[in-house]
Amino acid sequence: MSIIEKSKFYQNFKKTKSKVIELEKRINEFENKFNTSSDSKCPACGAYQFFVIETNPHPSRGAAAIGLVLRKYQCKKCKFEETKTFSTNR
Ligand SMILES: [Zn+2]
């Protein structure tokens, strides 16, 4: 391998290495996000700390029959609560 080839190889290696470090950093950020927060944003304070605390069948018979459920969310940060309707049919 000539000196030029060696230096090219080294440049590519350096690029790849910094790319890997960059990717590792992003993976860590994603893991932290999923471990510590919800993907639902609290409508009251805007924190990604909005978690399902209860799931109940829809009180309306017709709605329950087509698979609708009520999910109660609570924000861990500000304690704001909200009930949302979800369909369990996909
Ligand atoms: Zn909140």
Cα(33)–Cα(51) distance, integer angstroms: 14
- The pTM for the full model equals 0.55
Higher pLDDT, 4 or 64: 64
pLDDT at 32 over 70: no
pLDDT band at 88 (very low <50, low <70, confident <90, very high): confident
In the structure, ligand 1 is a single-atom ion and the residues with CB under 5 Å from it are 42, 44-45, 75, 77-78, 80
Domain boundaries, the chain: 1-36, 38-90
DSSP string, 48-65: S-EEEEEEEE-SSHHHHH
- Of the candidates 53, 62, 64, the one whose C-alpha atom is nearest the C-alpha of residue 87 is 64
d(CA 2, ligand 1 centre) in Å: 62
CATH topology of domain 38-90: N-terminal domain of TfIIb (2.20.25)
Contacts of residue 62, defined as CB under 8 A and 6 or more positions apart, other chains included, come to none
Phi first, then psi: what are they for 7, rounded to 5°?
-70, -35
Cα(33)–Cα(8) distance, integer angstroms: 38
